[in-house]
Amino acid sequence: MFQEAYVYSHQKQVPSRLHLRINKIDKMTDTNENPHRCDVCEKRFSQTGNLKRHMMMTHTNEKPHRCDVCEKGFSHRDSLKRHMLTHTKDKDYQCTICERRFRFSEHVKQHMLIHTKERPYRCEVCANGFKRVGDLKKHMLTHTDEKAHECEICKKRFGQKGTLKAHMLIHTTEKSHRCDVCEKMFLTSRLLKSHMMIHNDEKQHHCDFCEKSYYHVKSLKKHMLTHNNEKPHRCDICEKEFSIRSRLKIHWLTHTNEKAHRCNICEKRFTRSGTLQMHMLTHTHEKLHRCNVCSKRFRVRSGLKTHMLTHTKEKPHRCYVCEKTFSQRSQLKQHMLIHSNEKPHQCDVCEKRFRTTTVLKTHMLVHSGEKTHQCVICEKRFTQRGHLKEHMLIHTKEKPHQCVVCEKRFRRGSGLEKHMLIHTKENPY
């Protein structure tokens, strides 16, 4: 029989324990009681052993204790001992709701909070709730802006050790974890496990309001902000508001124009590592995401999602001015600029203004004269990919645009529009 673990309500007890912990930390901040100071981050400790432990965990990243089974390294012997139980100890503790099993009773207690939706640890600054005191401590760093962890390669600093570890993956190109289904390679086993959910179609996290499902709890949390319309994070420069802090950080880069992520092949630079990863697929021409209806393939999953709307004809995003509907939220945003007549993007050469950065980039090719898109048949070059696609119809003799009245076909949509005036008797001039 499995040992059953029950979780009782800690609404009254937990805050008192948390306050005791905070009070204890506050008392230990005195220099006399904490004579041992870290030379790197100036944090103080009561004992030399604690200082050594801190140096090893935070700054040196030294892991002298190694597991004989899987060769994983640890900073402390206690951590290694606990890890060894994962190889030897059975999962004796079972969740009474979903029957998931755990090795330790405290793990099942933490797990139960998923079912109860309980968040006993609350931030005193922004009132966000957390399941674990460790998560609360990590969160508190977002308010203090303390960044004790530095990357040895690019000197970028981070508030959490885990964030630094994730950042270090940018500097390495080794991908040792392979997906058995599509053979895609990943830097870590965690990324591979996350990827496998796509193949298994496991969307375990459901929204209580709109019944939308997500692979990851983080995605669900971000989605939930769309229902309460809360935007607590504001830009100090332009006062634009965001629902999550990460989007504010990305927005800041539009003001600083910082592009820290560089492509090793064409040296193009990007503000985000995710955008760089997407860009790298243009060099490999790898298209892993396939449409189940028409078998068309896409480089990124978002491209496949957008494409699927062409089959379902679904247009969930509606303009509140003219009630026109769109399949994508980005299309609606772009459309809204028509009503506002706002053109925020200006050309540095001729000062002409445009509604979107995409149109501005296309316009800039007029000044540079650059024609990057070449026809593989006649080698004619074009400034825009769309123009190349239209040109290719000359070689294929394809006429995708058909008149619904007389069934006459046209290569271009503009040609069909002009032709339709014959049937409608409209004079365009």
pLDDT band at 174 (very low <50, low <70, confident <90, very high): low
Per-residue confidence (pLDDT) for residue 424, from 0 to 100 = 79
Per-residue confidence (pLDDT) for residue 428, from 0 to 100 = 52
Region 319-347: what's the mean pLDDT? 82
pLDDT band at 7 (very low <50, low <70, confident <90, very high): very low
Q: Is residue 346 part of a domain?
A: no
CATH number at 8 reads: 3.30.160.60
**Total number of domains in the chain:** 1
Per-residue confidence (pLDDT) for residue 5, from 0 to 100 = 37
Region 379-394: what's the mean pLDDT? 84
Per-residue confidence (pLDDT) for residue 3, from 0 to 100 = 40
Average pLDDT, the chain: 76
Would you state the structure tokens that stand for residue 413, as one six-digit string? 């949509």
SS3 of 65, please? strand
Q: Is residue 282 part of a domain?
A: no
Per-residue confidence (pLDDT) for residue 2, from 0 to 100 = 38
| Domain coverage including residue 100 | 3-169
Would you state the structure tokens that stand for residue 369, as one six-digit string? 């004269």
CB 279 within 8 A of CB 299: no
Residue 237 scores a pLDDT above 80: no
> Whole-angstrom Cα distance, residue 42 to residue 65?
26
pLDDT 10s digits, 222-231? 777 777 667 7
Question: For residue 63, how many other CB atoms are within 10 A of its CB?
Answer: 15
Per-residue confidence (pLDDT) for residue 216, from 0 to 100 = 75
Per-residue confidence (pLDDT) for residue 89, from 0 to 100 = 65
Q: Is residue 372 part of a domain?
A: no
Would you state the structure tokens that stand for residue 198, as one six-digit string? 């796509």
Q: Is residue 156 part of a domain?
A: yes
Closest CA to 404 of 422, 384, 385: 422
DSSP string, 179-205: -TTT--EESSHHHHHHHHHHHHT---E
Most confident option among 202-211, 336-345, 387-396: 387-396
Region 257-269: what's the mean pLDDT? 80
Closest CA to 41 of 165, 141, 134, 154: 141
Q: Is residue 110 part of a domain?
A: yes
Q: Is residue 259 part of a domain?
A: no
226 or 427: which leads in pLDDT: 226
Per-residue confidence (pLDDT) for residue 4, from 0 to 100 = 40
Dihedral angle computed from the Cα positions of residues 168, 244, 141 and 262, in that order, rounded to the nearest 10 degrees: 20
389 or 169: which leads in pLDDT: 389
pLDDT band at 426 (very low <50, low <70, confident <90, very high): low
Q: Is residue 343 part of a domain?
A: no
Q: Is residue 68 part of a domain?
A: yes
Beta bridge partners of 318: 325
Per-residue confidence (pLDDT) for residue 11, from 0 to 100 = 37
CB 351 within 8 A of CB 360: no
Question: For residue 111, how many other CB atoms are within 10 A of its CB?
Answer: 19
Per-residue confidence (pLDDT) for residue 119, from 0 to 100 = 78
CB 335 within 8 A of CB 321: no
SS3 content of the chain, % helix, strand, coil (to 5): 40, 15, 45
Per-residue confidence (pLDDT) for residue 61, from 0 to 100 = 65
Residue 292 scores a pLDDT above 70: yes
pTM of the complete model: 0.30
> Whole-angstrom Cα distance, residue 302 to residue 312?
16
Contact partners, residue 392, CB within 8 Å, separation at least 6 = 375, 377
Region 159-164: what's the mean pLDDT? 74
Per-residue confidence (pLDDT) for residue 13, from 0 to 100 = 38
> Whole-angstrom Cα distance, residue 397 to residue 411?
8
pLDDT 10s digits, 135-145? 787 777 777 76
Residue 21 scores a pLDDT above 50: no
344 or 57: which leads in pLDDT: 344
